[in-house]
Chain A
C-alpha cells in the first residue's frame, strides 16, 4: 500500500514558467519529507527537504510547501529550466525507529525550451 503518492506521472512546463509537483501521504506520523531528482541512468539525488515543524522551505529556485492538515506537499521550481527535466520523487520518514524512507512513484518533468 503506497503511503506516499504522486498522482501525476508526468508534467510539461515551458521554460521560465513555474513547475509545481505534488505529493500526498497517508501516514500522519511522517514528520520529515524530501524531494529527490533523478536523471536517466543515475541514482536519485537529494534536492530539498522539510520538517513538519515548518510549512515552507526555500533553496534558490526550489521551494517545498507542506500542508500537514491535508497531508500534502508540493515542490515549486521557478523559473523552470531545461536542465530541470528529470524524474522527481518525494519521500517521507519519521516513524520512530524506522530506518527507511517511503517514496512516491515519481513525476517526470519536462521543461520545454
Chain B
C-alpha cells in the first residue's frame, strides 16, 4: 500500500499477557517513530529508529516495552506483562526526509488491557 499500515487495528488482551504490535512503513522511509495516545492525553513519544543507528529509546515508559526494526523496514513494538495503564492507541509514523512536515502516521492499534 501507499501509506503506513499497522496491525492489528484492535487488540484486547488480559493483564499480564504479552502483546506485539506491527508497523509496516512506507517503502524507502528510513526513520520510524512509535507513539501512544492514552485516554485524554496527547501523543506520547516512545521510540525512534533512523537507518542503522541505535534507536532512541528515551520515551519507553518501562522495561516491559521494547521495539525492533528488522532490515530497516517492518517494526514491532512488544509490551510484556501488560498492565491496564498500557491501554492506549499506539501509532507508528515514518519519515522519508528529515523534517516533521514529512511525517506520515499509520491508523494506529487500539490496545485494551482488561
Residue of B nearest to A90 (CB): B42
Which of B48, B91, B103 gathers the greatest number of chain A CB atoms within 10 Å?
B103
| A32 contacts the other chain (CB 8 A) | yes
Within 8 A of A (CB), among B42-58: 42-45, 48, 50, 56, 58
Is B42 touching A105 in the complex (CB atoms < 8 A)?
A: yes
Are the C-beta atoms of B93 and A43 separated by less than 8 Å?
Answer: yes
Number of interface residues of B (CB under 8 A): 26
- Cβ of A28 to closest chain B Cβ, rounded Å: 19
Closest A residue to B49 by beta carbon equals: A99
A89 touches B43 (CB 8 A): yes
Task: Give every chain B residue within 8 A of A102 (Cβ-Cβ).
Answer: 42, 45
Q: Is the CB of B105 within 8 A of A104?
A: no
Query: Which of B41, B50, B59, B105 contacts A100 (CB under 8 A)?
Result: B59
Name the residue on A nearest B106 (C-beta): A43
Stretch with Cβ within 8 A of B (4 or more), from A14-22, A44-52, A60-68, A69-77: A44-52
Sort chain A's interface into a size bin.
20 to 34
The 8 Å CB contact of B101, one of A2, A6, A34, A43, is A34
Tell yes or no: A4 within 8 A of B by CB. yes
> Which residue of chain B lies nearest to A44 when distances are taken between CB atoms in the complex?
B105
B79 at interface, CB cutoff 8 A: no
Q: Which residues of B contact A101 (CB under 8 A)?
A: 43, 45, 100, 103
CA distance A78 to B41 in the complex (A): 28
Q: Which residues of A contact B65 (CB under 8 A)?
A: none
Q: Which 4 A-B pairs have the closest CB atoms?
A: A43-B105, A100-B45, A103-B42, A103-B43
Task: Give me 13 other A-B pairs in contact (C-beta within 8 A), A46-B104, A100-B45, A103-B35 excluded.
Answer: A2-B42, A6-B42, A34-B100, A34-B101, A36-B105, A42-B107, A46-B103, A89-B42, A89-B43, A99-B45, A99-B56, A102-B42, A105-B42
